Amino acid sequence: MRLTVIGTGYLGAVHAACMADIGHDVLGVDVDVEKITALAEGRPPFYEPGLDDVLTRALASGRLRFTTSLREAAAHGEVHFICVGTPQQAGSQAADLRYVDAVVDGLVPHLPASCLVVGKSTVPVGTTARLTTRIAGLAPAGVRAEVAWNPEFLREGFAVEDTLRPDRLVVGTESPEADAMLRRVYAPMVVAGVPYISTDPNTAELVKVAANSFLATKISFINAMAEVCDAAGADVVTLADALGHDTRIGRRFLNAGLGFGGGCLPKDIRAFTARAQELGVGAAVAFLDQVDEINQRQRARTVALARRLAGGDLAGRRVTVLGATFKPNSDDVRDSPALAVAATLHREGADVRVHDPEGSANAQLAHPELRCSADLLTACQGAELILHLTEWDQYREVDPVKLARVVREPVLVDGRNALPHEEWRAAGWTVKALGRPTPT
């Protein structure tokens, strides 16, 4: 099938490459010329494991091309996927839909024939209904564009795998023809047994924000328990392990630490709250404000722990932050808890070095005041305090004996509760973490 994928960022670039990989004829579209040039040359514009292989394969097959022209996109697609950003509005909790609207406004007047417009971006409930009216008003005479919402659940770091083998596909549309077309688009997945859930647009839009709200709540729940553990002298990791054995609860997303960040969870729960308020049901999701607050508090608690370890004042202290990205296996530093902590330590006068295996260039761009490096030993040289804030595998493999020789003081804050504390202590390190008692 002839597909366009409009917006080739973390979501769209992977979607475009994977759709070509399963046999479709795909045109990727973006306003960012540099991104389009890189993708057309087979260079992923960001770090995502496995994307380079799929991209190379898809380009070589001749089934994947890129453009900056929405006119060209209009001429190409039977199905147009909208994958542009829906960030938080400045000065409000709500989602900013201007990029989605701009795509519709730029695409629809040029449509030569009837087709399907499918949103994949995360949007407030009611967006499909609003766009259906907008699209009908913009379409040339005799051209009908059906609309569907097909929210995306991929995880950065596993985006290729999640796109090719998703846990489920959710499609919301009022049009049986649109649903049938999307079943054809995703036929290889459907045949392989991926659950395909057909529903109305409002439900489809809500599934995505409800899923993110649930995940965020699970993380903030365990972080709230970590605060209680700190006050009571209990151990949140043992608590999480014990809770996780209950199959109704499950162990995943119960890792206490610095909390969530990135370009999705924080802005999605805020946008959900704002939309629920518009719908007059703000009280139903008021708990999400607490989820957000608990999450932000872990950043402050981590800084406070660092300050305490520095004797009450961080001014002039050499601190190294391990991890800049919001999660491992990505170079994405959007709303990264690790970088937020690093920036606060810097503001408090600490001499901060930041290390990240893949995200140091993005971190440096976002925070020119920090010194970011992709070399671990250089970043740790002379440190009086190390904070482990993004759980890259590479950090679990660090030899604490060797690292102790490079630093000035062997003091570690494990902000992700992911390092082998006993091993580090045996190598002479003082190890502290949120929600963990210090062994006597």
> With helix as H, strand as E and coil as C, how does 356-381 read?
CCCCHHHHHHHCCCCEEECCHHHHHC
CA 124 to chain centre: 18
DSSP code, position 174: S
Q: How far is the CB of 342 from ligand NAD (least distance, A)?
A: 22
Stretch that binds ligand NAD, among 83-91, 184-192, 218-226, 228-236 (CB under 6 A): 83-91
The answer for 262, left when phi > 0, alpha when psi is -120 to 50, beta otherwise, is left
The answer for 377, left when phi > 0, alpha when psi is -120 to 50, beta otherwise, is alpha
User: Per this entry, what is the length of the chain?
Assistant: 440
Nearer to ligand NAD, 169 or 314 (CB): 169
And the tokens for 114?
């009837």
When asked if residue 335 is in the footprint of ligand NAD (CB under 6 A), the reply is no
Q: How far is the CB of 23 from ligand NAD (least distance, A)?
A: 23
When asked if residue 275 is in the footprint of ligand NAD (CB under 6 A), the reply is no
Q: How far is the CB of 36 from ligand NAD (least distance, A)?
A: 9
Q: How far is the CB of 19 from ligand NAD (least distance, A)?
A: 15
Which of 18, 19, 83, 254 touches ligand NAD by CB under 6 A? 83
Nearer to ligand NAD, 25 or 335 (CB): 335
Nearer to ligand NAD, 31 or 427 (CB): 31
Which of 19, 39, 58, 84 touches ligand NAD by CB under 6 A? 84
Amino acid at 33: V
Which of 3, 5, 9, 217 touches ligand NAD by CB under 6 A? 9
Rounded Cα distance between 273 and 84, Å, is: 21
Nearer to ligand NAD, 152 or 235 (CB): 152
Rounded Cα distance between 326 and 45, Å, is: 18
Q: Which residue's C-beta sits nearest to ligand NAD?
A: 9
Q: How far is the CB of 121 from ligand NAD (least distance, A)?
A: 3
Which of 3, 5, 6, 236 touches ligand NAD by CB under 6 A? 6
Encoded one letter per residue, x for contact with ligand NAD by CB under 6 A and - for no contact, window 125-164 reads: ---------------------------x-x-x--------
CA terminus-to-terminus distance, the chain: 65
Which of 77, 172, 257, 263 touches ligand NAD by CB under 6 A? 263
Which of 28, 85, 266, 323 touches ligand NAD by CB under 6 A? 85
Which sign, positive or negative, has the C-alpha torsion 8, 11, 17, 22? Answer: negative
**Residue 397, phi then psi, degrees to nearest 5:** -90, -5
Rounded Cα distance between 392 and 155, Å, is: 15
Encoded one letter per residue, x for contact with ligand NAD by CB under 6 A and - for no contact, window 230-259 reads: ------------------------------
Q: Which residues in the 24-63 window bind ligand NAD by CB under 6 A?
A: 29-32, 35
Nearer to ligand NAD, 166 or 244 (CB): 166
When asked if residue 7 is in the footprint of ligand NAD (CB under 6 A), the reply is yes
CA atoms within 13 A on the CB side of 101: 9
Q: List active site positions.
A: 264
Q: How far is the CB of 7 from ligand NAD (least distance, A)?
A: 3
Asked if residue 160 lies in contact with residue 50, where contact means CB atoms within 8 angstroms, the answer is: yes
- 145-149 and 169-173 strand pairing: antiparallel
Kindly write down the DSSP assignment for every residue of 200-240, as one continuous string: -HHHHHHHHHHHHHHHHHHHHHHHHHHHHHHHHT--HHHHH
When asked if residue 124 is in the footprint of ligand NAD (CB under 6 A), the reply is no
Contact residues toward ligand NAD (CB under 6 A) are 6-12, 29-32, 35, 83-86, 99, 102-103, 121-122, 152, 154, 156, 263-264
